[in-house]
A and B are shown apart, each in its own frame.
Chain A
Amino acid sequence: QKEVEQDPGPLSVPEGAIVSLNCTYSNSAFQYFMWYRQYSRKGPELLMYTYSSGNKEDGRFTAQVDKSSKYISLFIRDSQPSDSATYLCAMSANEGKLIFGQGTELSVKP
């Protein structure tokens, strides 16, 4: 079993929908939780960063971390076609080596 599990999708939604992406993990030492967006043939770019449990909001994006359940989520409101990409969760026990999920491929249809 992998340390970080993420449903690979693909996920297809209509423009304007609310998107929910999530990951589960097994290592209770993880304290830093991130979501990256990766467009085709590009490197991952950081979307959201959360330390320990709680919620964080940035524009249309909300990240949630529930350490008691070892579960993290990313919500995208009012999704746009430009949000179509692969979304990767990543986590770390310290501010160094990241463990990534498999990535969820999202397509937002106009």
Chain B
Amino acid sequence: GAGVSQSPRYKVAKRGQDVALRCDPISGHVSLFWYQQALGQGPEFLTYFQNEAQLDKSGLPSDRFFAERPEGSVSTLKIQRTQQEDSAVYLCASSGSGEQLHFGNGTRLTVT
């Protein structure tokens, strides 16, 4: 497909479990962003990659959150020892040089 693809669409995890969320950006897009969107709120920035380099991770809420993009394409957001407050929609977005962000439809994470 031509858009940003995220998987899984829905994830239920028991508190304390580790989860991994995947993002397939639009082919050739250099920049990749992760955002967290709580219910009824706007997306909040988590981290930013340019190719494989993680240039900004200032939005990651704790050291339980880790993101990688080892080959400059697919990215994975990992959350260790999930907590209830981690329940949210996790959005991935990508952009080409000088272009606007294209968002995926997100992964809805529910921690029980």
Whole-angstrom distance between the Cβ of B109 and the nearest chain A Cβ: 14
CB distance from A10 to the nearest CB of B (A): 10
Chain A residues near B106 (CB-CB < 8 A): 43
Q: B33 near A88 (CB under 8 angstroms)? A: no
Query: How many residue pairs at the A-B interface have CB separations less than 8 Å?
Result: 48
Query: A residues within 8 A CB of B44?
Result: 100
A97 touches B56 (CB 8 A): yes
The answer on a CB contact under 8 Å between B48 and A42 is no
Q: Which of A12-20, A44-52, A59-67, A72-80 contacts B (4 or more CB under 8 A)?
A: A44-52
**Does more than half of chain A's interface fall in helix, strand or loop, or is it mixed?**
loop
Which of A4, A42, A96, A101 contacts B31, CB < 8 Å?
A96
Report, as a range, how many residues of chain A touch the other chain: 20 to 34
- A interface footprint on B88-104 (CB within 8 Å = 1, 0 otherwise): 00010100001011011
Chain B residues with a Cβ closer than 8 Å to the other chain, count: 22
C-alpha gap A79/B104 in the complex (Å)? 26
The answer to whether B41 touches A98 (Cβ under 8 A) is no
**A43-B106, A45-B103 as given contacts; A97 in contact with B40, CB under 8 Å:** no
Within 8 Å by CB of A8, from B40, B100, B103, lies B40
Interface string of B33-47 (1 = CB under 8 A from A): 101000011111100
The B-contacting residues of A in range 59-110, CB under 8 angstroms, are: 88, 90, 95-103
Question: Can you give 14 contacting A-B residue pairs, CB < 8 Å?
Answer: A4-B42, A41-B108, A43-B105, A43-B106, A44-B91, A49-B100, A88-B43, A90-B42, A96-B48, A97-B48, A98-B45, A100-B42, A100-B43, A101-B42
State the B residues within 8 Å of A (CB): 4, 31, 33, 35, 40-45, 48, 56, 91, 93, 98, 100-101, 103-106, 108
